[in-house]
Structure 1
């Protein structure tokens, strides 16, 4: 959790610097593409604060009001960040269209040479800084399975590409003198941001409606269960969901009718432990039930040869069962 907080704080600091610098350079130079990047970084700054809050809150232990923990706070954070990105894209599109109209009607659109040079410099520095910070964020996000940090990393990685796009646009304006390239580049930036917003919404919002874990993770759970298939009859009603970095799994495990409770408990513990080792932060709940509760014929009950070796081995002798009942009544 300390590492998650540290990288989230690093993102906040870098976004403060870049937002202020881009907005100032955009206003001085008159470049709408640089200003649009400033707006984008400003939204990223808000998102970075949200991510910082989310990672701190999600790390709190379960309490009486949140019996299943605070993991979904990260998903809420990611969804809000996706919405903010979309709003930023709309603002950039509006500004770019206004700039195109000004250029067409000859009412503006001039970008100073000084502004071009300064813009190229700040876009280059921005791309490098955001690449370094987003790479760091993504590594920690993958290692800790943090949706909030991954969302923040995606914001900054998008900023890298859009900064490079603006940089290329400014260079083209310098070479050609066509100022209309500036708002066109800004529109391209906006559409890239919208794409990032859609992708992030899909990833962050799905766990809020308890979507099952991905197929590859469900296969891992099935593999673990198959390792112990000689110790139970079958399993069913497997359900999975995710809350932030936490995974929740529950299932029904059918065991042989005469298996002692202590052995069933030990089996469940071993299954839960191995699933947790294979999948990061997984809480497993297993409901064990005897095979006699199933709507199937039991060969042992019918006096036939059993296909379930556990039942044959664990079935008590007839006399011992009577003695056990007698002892219980005496107690």
Structure 2
């Protein structure tokens, strides 16, 4: 039995319609946010490449290299977001939502590659000799890019957390990393201008590479957890608390709770234990009621599946041991 519900409990079709309307609005907001991110990313890339060509700075090169990666990653994220909202089809019964995890992992891998490129290129340039020109113009461009990216990054992260969208949140964190990179470059090259000591330039580039390497690794880790169906303890705690309340109201017991996220929603499975003497019709009615109310009460969209068992002899009926756990 499956239910996707939201809104005020007690209505039959309205909660599902309200939930679908909410999801569609979130999808529209996400598509707008990603297109905005792509547009600004291309604009920032042009500015940073211009600053690098004008100054020859290794630190500015590191910032521009990350922007190249960012534009490629955002373009893929835009595609992933579009695909993740496509409806389920016969050969993909759960839809395409899990591409959000792959998208985050792809972005993280691209960031790691950018960090390696920065380290190699900066080392080669340092060995050949350091030359930096026209720092004032370059710093102005990088500072402007950093400020703009900071606003964009906070906007994307806020949208991602609000709508439980890993694609938006991952892109927002990448944009914020890009912003901090720009501020670090400005600080380092400012020291070059003040002290005249040019090695500050490659040292800042190495620091930038280390920072984005950490950021990329974090994205890859989150991607891997999602692809491996990591169960968030916070979500599990919410599910258990609501099941405790609902089952107490209905006079039921439960076990065998499992859940996973598909990127935009939670898929929840739970075994409900009914008295042996209760009819199938009444058990089905109560299970459906619990499915709808549980989905309404959670923070994120949910699809709930219940399995009905007899309280008195459920253990004897199963020929092999089955999962009877609950979230912590």
Give the TM interval when normalised to the shorter protein: 0.7 to 0.9
User: Match of 2:178?
Assistant: 159
Partner of 1:195: 214
After superposition, residues 247-326 of structure 1 pair within 5 angstroms as 247-277=266-296, 278-295=298-315
Is the Cα–Cα contact under 8 Å of residues 119 and 170 in structure 1 kept in the other structure? no
**Mapped contact 1:31–1:182 kept (Cα < 8 A):** yes
Greater RCO (Cα-Cα under 8 Å, separation 6 or more): 2
The answer on 1:174 being equivalent to 2:200 is no
- Cα 1:197–1:165 shift into 2, 3 Å: same
Distance 1:220 1:39, change over 3 A: same
Query: Could you tell me whether the CA contact under 8 Å between 1:232 and 1:254 is conserved in 2?
Result: no
Residue 36 of structure 1, CA deviation: 1.2
Q: CA deviation at 1:218?
A: 0.8
How much does 1:292 deviate? 3.2
- Go from structure 1 to structure 2 and tell me whether the alpha carbon gap of 1:26 and 1:187 turns closer, same or farther (over 3 Å shift): same
Residue number among 130, 135, 142 corresponding to 2:161 in the alignment: 142
* Cα distance in 2, alignment partners of residues 124 and 228 from structure 1: 54
Equivalent residue for 2:60?
Answer: 34
Secondary structure of 1:251 counterpart: strand
3-state DSSP of counterpart to 1:292: coil
Partner deviation per Cα, 1:65-96 (whole Å, 9 max, x = no partner): 21011110111111111100000000001112
Q: Would you say how many aligned residue pairs link Structure 1 and Structure 2? A: 288
User: Within 2, Cα distance between the matches of 1:295 and 1:148?
Assistant: 42
Which runs of no fewer than 5 residues in structure 1 stay unpaired? Answer: 103-107, 297-331
Deviation, structure 1 residue 232: 4.3
Question: Is 2:226 the counterpart of 1:226?
Answer: no
Is the CA contact (8 Å cut-off) linking 1:30 and 1:110 kept in structure 2?
yes
The alignment's C-alpha RMSD in Å is 1.4
Large movers: runs of 4+ above 6 Å:
none
- Inter-partner Cα distance in structure 2 for 1:291 and 1:136: 50
Q: Which residue of 2 aligns with 1:246?
A: 265
Q: Which residue of 1 aligns with 2:204?
A: 185
Consecutive unaligned residues of structure 2, counting only runs of 5 or more, are: 1-26, 317-328
1:99 Cα deviation after fit: 2.4
Whole-Å Cα distance in 2 between the matches of residues 264 and 198 of structure 1? Answer: 48
TM-score by length of 2: 0.84
Contact 2:247 2:254 in 1 (8 A): no
Is 1:110 matched with 2:126? no
Paired with 1:210 and 1:141, the residues of 2 have a C-alpha distance of: 19
Secondary structure, aligned partner of 1:228 = helix
Structure showing greater Rg: 1
Where in structure 2 are the equivalents of 1:39-50 lying within 5 Å? 39-50=65-76
Q: Which residue of 2 aligns with 1:210?
A: 229
Cα distance in 1 between the residues matched to 2:97 and 2:180: 31
For the 8 Å contact 1:124–1:167, the answer to whether it is kept is yes
More divergent stretch after superposition (8-17 vs 19-28): 19-28
